[in-house]
Structure 1
Amino acid sequence: MTVCIEQSVPDSQVVVENKNNHDTTDLIFDGHFVVPETAVANGDFDCPDVNAFGQTFRDYDVENERQKQVEECYRMNHVHQTYEYVKKMREEYKKLDKLEMSIWECCELLNEVVDESDPDLDEPQIEHLLQTAEAIRKDYPNEDWLHLTALIHDLGKVLLLPRFGELPQWAVVGDTHPLGCAFDESIVHHKYFKGNPDMNNPAYQTKNGIYREGCGLENVMISWGHDDYMYLVAKENGATLPEAGLFIIRYHSFYPLHRSGAYKHLMNEEDAENLKWLQIFNKYDLYSKSKSRVDVEKVKPYYLSLINKYFPEKLRW
């Protein structure tokens, strides 16, 4: 996307009224929606202090059985996710020859899935999707594409189910990272990369690796998982979500980028614009994880209307 600039206003900025009727400085993009710059750091979302287990969020060091399971998932991920492996998986799953079904049917399938890489939640995934979507809907009532993006962002986790190949957890869930260049220290459980065969390839050991600075994330091989799979499903089935929505789906697990600022040198201008929305989305994705329940039948009609707006009735998976 390109920035729409008012000639009389410097730095591509304009003053708009936010949802609480306060003056705020935001950026306007050609997708015809506003990116609230201040919301990235200061927004109105009330972040809880502890997760569903009573611990701080994304604490990978606390000693308990859940954390041992999480760490083992990352160890397997870091050892087995190689450049060639990801290339092979992208080629295989881009065929979209596993099943035909609607978005809502896929949401219901997630009742069978629990993410073993998540240190904050052990509820079925549909609970998390609705918690995230409803939290965003409350704070951004006019951005219906963002509500839907929240609902579907984790649907790729159906890869864990038999009809989709029953991939191991390490090939579906957890934080993602680039292949083909040096593994940044900010990646969770970085120590386990020492067992990855790509460490023996000198071409992959520099900051840029096989890429050039500013090449754009779409040209970077990111570790395989539910993010990239759901992006492929949406893109190949002609979803009409804004590019920011597709970007969120594809990179919402790329924590080294949107939490630690790693790999920004590989981004292009469009990535930088979309990252603003991903950073807004991320706090809802992370901090809405709780034991609070959502009345599925009550909110279902609304989300079905959004699905009909942005997706075909049936999709190839």
Structure 2
Amino acid sequence: MAAEVEKKPVSMIDPSQLLRPEPTFNDKPIDAFRDYSVDDTDPIKERVRRTYYLMHSNVTVDLVKQKREKWLKFNHFKATVKDALIKLNELVDESDPDTDLPNIVHAFQTAERIREDHPDEDWFHLTGLIHDLGKVMAFYDEPQWCVVGDTFPVGCKWADSIVYGPESFKDNPDTYNPKYNTKYGMYKPHCGIDNLLMSWSHDEYLYQFLLHNKSTIPEKGLYMIRYHSFYPWHAGRDYRHLSNEKDEEILKWVTEFNKYDLYTKSEKVPDIEALWPYYEKLIEKYIPGICEW
């Protein structure tokens, strides 16, 4: 199958395949992940397409600023990290073509696979467990298109490697705004990805949440969380004209995390109740107590 992929132009395949692990990483065929082909007879594919088209039509510079103003006050609710994770029992990600299981299953699948490969890096195990926790916004009147899915910068030209391509932004007003629709848009060359205004999502929210609540997860874990959905950059290799030297180090961390985030999705459900005691200790170590969300 790998030979087939190599024959195709990069623009014709999902770029995450270029970073994929060995085929034995999971019991699911690697080429079956991130299939965004259009098929209106398949309810999951149609759900995914609809979610992304809504996202790409509505996520503008102004909307992102509004969402940051709304959510970064951290005044919506108070809860422990465990209680927030339990909420994910009720959430199925509408942008995900690879699973229709509750998001908490994916959280434990990711964490346990990281734990297997990196037994001594407990911060990494916890990073895997909580990386999607920002999706709790969906329980507080945020539509999923503003919570889930791949991320991208607003305020500059849409990259070709964004899911469904630039055509999916045809109804987005920023597409036609000369301040935002050029290669650099409102940015300067090599300004660094930390200085990009990213589409609002669970990534940025959780990253900012961890800073606000004084988490002691190492910097590399924080960046794994902040950019794990930024596929056009870490997999598509777009936006290089905006990244800098520090971003190359961040890219290594995010790429390492990506294989656990993406390729652990399967129908095998971990024994979550049996695993809680271990992860509760990590939560108490790195993000203790009742947090502001």
Q: TM (normalized to structure 2)?
A: 0.89
Higher mean alpha-carbon deviation, 89-98 vs 41-50, is at 41-50
Pairing partner for 2:196 from 201, 208, 220: 220
Distance in 2 (alpha carbons) for counterparts of 1:261 and 1:42: 14
- 1:128-167 paired onto structure 2 within 5 Å: 128-161=106-139, 165-167=140-142
The match for 1:183 among 158, 165, 185 is 158
In structure 2, C-alpha distance between the alignment counterparts of 1:207 and 1:244, rounded to whole Å: 29
The 8 Å contact of residues 49 and 56 in structure 1, kept in 2 or not, is answered as no
Cα distance change, pair 274–282 in 1 and its aligned pair in 2 (3 A): same
Between Structure 1 and Structure 2, how many residues are aligned? 273
Residue 234 of structure 2 aligns with an amino acid whose one-letter code is H
* Secondary structure in 2 matching 1:121: coil
Pairing partner for 2:183 from 202, 207, 223:
207
Larger Rg: 1
- Asked if 1:113 is matched to 2:91, the reply is yes
Partner SS state of residue 149, structure 2 = coil
Gaps of 5+ in 2: 1-17
Q: Answer whether contact 1:237 1:312 (CA < 8 A) is retained.
A: no
Q: Report the CA distance between 1:49 and its aligned residue.
A: 6.5
Scaled by the length of structure 1, what TM-score is found? 0.82
Map of 2:290 onto structure 1: 314
Of 140, 144, 147, which residue of structure 2 is paired with 1:169?
A: 144
Structure 1's 313 and 267: CA in aligned 2 closer, same or farther, altered over 3 A?
same
Structure 1 residue 78 and structure 2 residue 56: aligned?
yes
Query: Residue 77 of structure 2 corresponds to which residue in structure 1?
Result: 99
Larger RCO: 1 or 2 (CA < 8 Å, sep 6+)? 2
Distance 1:233 1:45, change over 3 A: farther
1:249 alignment partner in structure 2: 225
Say whether residues 1:50 and 2:50 are aligned partners: no
Structure 1: 5+ residue runs without aligned partners?
A: 1-39
Whether the aligned pair in 2 keeps the contact of 1:101 and 1:314 (CA below 8 Å) is: yes
Aligned equivalents of 1:248 and 1:209: distance in 2?
26
- Cα deviation, 1:214-265, whole Å, max 9, x if unaligned, reads 2121210110111111111111111111111111111111110111111122
Change in Cα spacing, 1:134 to 1:267, as seen in structure 2 (3 Å) is same
Write the letter of the residue equivalent to 1:167. Answer: E
Any conservation in 1 of the 2:38–2:49 contact (CA below 8 Å)? no
Percent of pairs identical after alignment?
A: 48
Q: Judge conservation of contact 2:110–2:129 (CA < 8 Å) in 1.
A: yes
Over the residues paired in the alignment, what is the CA RMSD in angstroms? 1.9
Q: Deviations over 1:171-195 (max 9, x none)?
A: 1111110001100011011212111
Tell me what 2:275 maps to.
299
**1:143 partner amino acid:** E
